[in-house]
């Protein structure tokens, strides 16, 4: 008979058969069972044609949060349009681009069109949809299951690594659960009777493998909306970004003003890659067909429609919750909504907008005014695109000479552009004028 060493208080708690290790193993098992259940719940419906989306924005809060997964099905042909329900639909975003969005239908307009909105958004979506636009209806919410896709899509590799490490730690702890000593022989497992039996270890290993495969094997496809699913293949997953801001009929316009647009530079020195329009004003001076690659619409039906959509876009961008930011712009910004803590944003040097590898990364910079100094510069890196940058002001915008800037500039007041400015984006004045001198302005694609 072998004499057992005396147990100390510390070994009773932290020892091999102490209660701490037993509790840790029990919690780890519960965690793995929870993940396994969610993974199976997500994967089985996909075998029957359901489609999943990983949520990466808060536009459907409080019921749907970033990192959740939503499963959807096609809307049957004989079914009525589910007013009040959450649907997936296609909508134009820019010339030649169609985006897929999933939001709630809030109103039947009675003319075959429907109004949609994200639950957390104050304003409805800028465009209306028809039944033909609807490609699916949300059916099942799986909380937290999409966190790996959420972290990966946003480039949050530290959170992804910590989550993966936690899962692996849970697996190790679950496989190492202590078992009571046996006085007569031992069960298969450890020679001393501790640990899991081989069969139990195999089951947990298979379960953990399925969890990791299910979470890591999902496809992350192109998407822009609150929660989207652009791929219709079985078991494909979409990663979403912020709630989309639709340019609508304003998309073709490089310059759009309420009252007038004037160009005072030397003839032939200004280049405009896009259309030019005013509404309700009719004054466009110093710009002719030789300056622009698009149309010139002075107070006509086309520019009126464009202005209507620009007003909606300005309001939608202004309603998003924002992060406070010092008025003096410099350094590097990552995707998000930023709001000036002062009277307006000012750019005196260089500002870098870092898309973090996401070509659909959205930037909204909101302030009473925007002013740039001489030769200021906005640089887009790591996938950031000018079409997804929105400068939104409740007053005017002034861009000084020789500046190189990017994004859609949406001003409630007047816009003044200095000599030699290069802009990849748009200039929109909702109530005032646009004045420019020898500028190069190109609508982003």
> What string of DSSP letters covers 26-78?
HHHHHHHHHHHHHHHHHHHHHTTT-EEEE--SSTTTTTS-TT-EEEEEPPPTT
Q: Where are the alpha helices (DSSP H) in 85-236?
A: 147-154, 157-175, 198-216
The first and second tokens of residue 435, run together, are 């004045």
The first and second tokens of residue 37, run together, are 């259940």
Lowest mean pLDDT among 113-117, 206-210, 366-370: 206-210
CB atoms within 10 A of CB 23: 11
Report yes or no: 113 and 64 within 8 Å, Cβ to Cβ. no
Distance CA 94, CA 117 (A): 19
The first and second tokens of residue 168, run together, are 């692996």
Q: State residue 195's pLDDT score.
A: 45
Q: State residue 39's pLDDT score.
A: 65
3-state secondary structure of 286: coil
Calculate the CA dihedral of residues 214, 220, 221, 225 and round it to 10 degrees: 100
Q: Name the pTM for this structure.
A: 0.52
Place of tokens 């790591």: 382
Distance CA 323, CA 340 (A): 8
Band (135; pLDDT cuts 50, 70, 90): confident
pLDDT in tens, 150-178: 676 666 678 767 877 777 777 777 666 55
Residue 421: CA atoms inside 13 Å, Cβ hemisphere, count?
30
The first and second tokens of residue 135, run together, are 């490609």
Q: State residue 196's pLDDT score.
A: 44
Distance CA 161, CA 152 (A): 10
Residue 190 has pLDDT above 50, yes or no: no
CB atoms within 10 A of CB 101: 28
Band (313; pLDDT cuts 50, 70, 90): very high
| Mean per-residue pLDDT, 62-91 | 81
């Amino acid at each position: 008979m072998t004499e057992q060493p005396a147990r100390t208080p510390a070994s009773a708690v932290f020892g091999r058969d102490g209660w701490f290790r037993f509790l840790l193993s029990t919690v780890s098992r519960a965690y793995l069972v929870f993940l396994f259940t969610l993974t199976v719940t997500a994967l089985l419906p996909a075998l029957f044609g359901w489609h999943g989306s990983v949520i990466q924005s808060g536009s459907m809060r409080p019921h749907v949060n970033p990192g959740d997964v939503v499963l959807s099905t096609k809307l049957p042909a004989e079914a009525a349009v589910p007013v009040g329900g959450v649907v997936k639909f296609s909508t134009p975003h820019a010339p030649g681009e169609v985006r897929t969005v999933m939001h709630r239908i809030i109103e039947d307009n009675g003319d075959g069109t429907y109004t949609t909105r994200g639950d957390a958004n104050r304003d409805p979506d800028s465009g209306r949809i028809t039944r033909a636009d609807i490609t699916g209806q949300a059916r099942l919410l799986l909380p937290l299951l999409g966190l790996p896709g959420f972290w990966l899509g946003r480039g949050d590799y530290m959170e992804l690594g910590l989550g993966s490490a936690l899962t692996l730690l849970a697996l190790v702890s679950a496989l190492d659960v202590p078992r009571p000593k046996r006085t007569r022989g031992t069960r298969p497992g450890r020679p001393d009777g501790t640990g899991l039996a081989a069969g139990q270890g195999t089951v947990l290993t298979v379960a953990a493998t399925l969890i990791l495969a299910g979470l890591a094997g999902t496809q992350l496809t192109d998407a822009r909306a609150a929660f989207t699913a652009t791929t219709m293949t079985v078991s494909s997953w979409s990663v979403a970004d912020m709630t989309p801001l639709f340019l609508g009929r304003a998309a073709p316009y490089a310059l759009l003003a309420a009252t007038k647009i004037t160009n005072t530079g030397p003839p032939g020195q200004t280049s405009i890659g896009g259309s030019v329009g005013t509404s309700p004003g009719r004054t466009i001076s110093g710009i002719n067909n030789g300056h622009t690659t698009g149309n010139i619409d002075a107070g006509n039906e086309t520019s009126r429609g464009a202005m209507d959509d620009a007003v909606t876009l300005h309001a939608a961008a202004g309603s998003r919750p924002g992060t406070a930011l010092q008025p003096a712009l410099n350094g590097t910004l990552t995707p998000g909504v930023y709001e000036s803590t002062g009277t307006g944003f000012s750019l005196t040097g260089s500002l870098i907008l870092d898309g973090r590898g996401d070509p659909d990364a959205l930037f909204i910079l909101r302030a009473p005014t925007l002013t740039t100094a001489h030769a200021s510069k906005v640089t887009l890196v790591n996938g950031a695109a000018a079409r997804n940058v929105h400068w939104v002001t409740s007053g005017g915008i002034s861009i000084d000479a020789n500046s190189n800037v990017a994004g859609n500039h949406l001003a409630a007041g007047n816009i003044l552009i200095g000599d030699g400015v290069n802009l990849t984006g748009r200039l929109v004045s909702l109530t005032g004028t646009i004045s420019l001198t020898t500028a190069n302005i190109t609508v982003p694609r």
